[in-house]
A = this chain, B = another copy of it.
Amino acid sequence: MSQVRCTSVILRFGEIGIKSNQTRRRMTSLLISHVESALREKKIPFEKIHSVYGRLYIETREAEKAAMVAARVFGVVSTSPAIQTSAEMDKILDIGEQLARTQFKKGLSFAVGARRIGQHLFSSQDIREQLGERILDNLSELELNVNLSNPEQSIYIEVRENKAHIFTQTIKGVGGMPTGSQGKVVCTISTGLDSPIAAYKVMKRGCIPVFLHLDNMPYADNQCSEIAVKQAQLLANYIHGFEVKLYIVPHAPDIEEARKHAPEKMTCLFCKRNMLRIAREIAIQENADAIVTGEIIGEQASQTTANLRVIEQAVTDFPILRPNAGDDKVDIMHLAQEIGTYDFANEGASCCTLNPRYPSVRADPDQVKSCEEPMDFGILKDELKNARIMVLREGK
């Protein structure tokens, strides 16, 4: 019996499947184009990607690699490298036996899973029973035993009309919705853990990011902007088919101006208010819908609910999305480890040396307004003019 080889990848998507016909078609087509782009980028050859009954299938002679790459495209819930054959019981039994022979480990329990859509001369239960028997009979040297409720290894058969896919492995995908199914959003990126995770979360939901990093030099270490560029680049690599920009905007002049007119304990609040104002200008310029920050309720003095209110009032015509608002730091750390930003983040680096020792935890909105009255906000426009704009990802 010749060695079996996977030449197909099954792609599963989640929420796309429950959308209206029109939305589902649009999202599926976005998803196909992003998967194609991801495969091309990694130089993985493939024949075509087609959509059948709420699944996508990639035909490729590098199914294992393709399954790994596709699993990291937003919208993909899971992938499986699979062997494709025709929907005939003989073929299914032959290939199922061969796959079990190469994949199953000796002495462990196993189960056969089967699902079927279309008209066939056999039922799903027939597949499960016959393939199970066949494996027990012909692979007796593996000393396997059947365990339907909690098997240590499994083989699955999915029959759809005249085709069958057989596989043993399922790779967890990043989930979410296809990039471009939502609008652009301005994602603020510092050098810490939180802001890249906030950006990742909204990107995962289909948004196209425009990254904004505020450069605190000379009130920061040299490497801070470099860290931000690395984080933004890592995130940008998740995007296919759309241009991704990073704005690096000098921030010191406006903080200096704020410190001239406000008590030290309120420095962080004016810093954040100005950050939102700069983000707003970029949102208008880039035709974005929203501003995204990494704020977590109660993580820092500037992130008490009272201070979030004071900060938010600086921008009234764009939503400020804070997808981390209700997370614990430990959740953020785990996700950062998963997606890779953890290694770049430098929460220790001195990326702001102006942090007040006793920051205000419950600023008064009226006091904030009166402090801002004499401030020159023309400085923000100048900072924007001096922005460095990097293209991290080319569009189509």
Residues of A near any B CB (own CB < 8 A): 14-15, 175-177, 181-185, 198, 200-202, 204-207, 289-290, 296-299, 304-306, 308-309, 311-313, 316-330, 362
Which has the most chain B C-beta neighbours within 10 Å: A185, A201, A325? Answer: A325
What 10 pairs between A and B have smallest CB-CB spacing?
A201-B326, A323-B326, A316-B316, A289-B305, A205-B297, A312-B319, A183-B305, A323-B325, A182-B305, A175-B328
CB–CB A202/B325 < 8 A: yes
Instruction: Out of B14, B198, B305, name the residue touching A326 (CB < 8 Å).
Output: B198
Q: Which residues of B contact A306 (CB under 8 A)?
A: 183, 289
Instruction: Out of B200, B297, B327, name the residue touching A206 (CB < 8 Å).
Output: B297
- Tell me how far the C-beta of A75 lies from the nearest C-beta in chain B, rounded to whole angstroms: 10
A315 nearest CB neighbor, chain B only: B316
- Tell me how far the C-beta of A292 lies from the nearest C-beta in chain B, rounded to whole angstroms: 8
- Tell me how far the C-beta of A207 lies from the nearest C-beta in chain B, rounded to whole angstroms: 6
- Considering the chains assembled together, what is the distance between the CA atoms of A324 and B322 in angstroms? 9
Instruction: Out of B198, B296, B330, name the residue touching A14 (CB < 8 Å).
Output: B330
- Considering the chains assembled together, what is the distance between the CA atoms of A264 and B201 in angstroms? 32
Q: Which residues of B contact A299 (CB under 8 A)?
A: 15
CB–CB A206/B309 < 8 A: no
Instruction: Identify whether the interface residues of A are mostly helix, strand, loop, or mixed.
Output: loop
Q: Show 12 A/B contacts (Cβ-Cβ < 8 Å), sorted by A.
A: A182-B297, A184-B305, A202-B297, A204-B328, A205-B325, A206-B297, A290-B305, A290-B308, A309-B319, A321-B326, A322-B323, A322-B325
- Tell me how far the C-beta of A15 lies from the nearest C-beta in chain B, rounded to whole angstroms: 6
A18 nearest CB neighbor, chain B only: B329
CB–CB B312/A205 < 8 A: no
Given A309-B290, A312-B319, A319-B320: A329 in contact with B298 (beta carbons within 8 A): no
- Considering the chains assembled together, what is the distance between the CA atoms of A316 and B290 in angstroms? 14
- Considering the chains assembled together, what is the distance between the CA atoms of A181 and B362 in angstroms? 12
Instruction: Out of B205, B297, B362, name the residue touching A207 (CB < 8 Å).
Output: B297
CB–CB A323/B320 < 8 A: no
CB–CB B185/A305 < 8 A: yes
CB–CB A183/B323 < 8 A: no
CB–CB A201/B330 < 8 A: no
- Considering the chains assembled together, what is the distance between the CA atoms of A163 and B148 in angstroms? 49
- Considering the chains assembled together, what is the distance between the CA atoms of A183 and B296 in angstroms? 14
- Considering the chains assembled together, what is the distance between the CA atoms of A184 and B362 in angstroms? 13
Instruction: Out of B15, B298, B319, B324, name the residue touching A308 (CB < 8 Å).
Output: B319
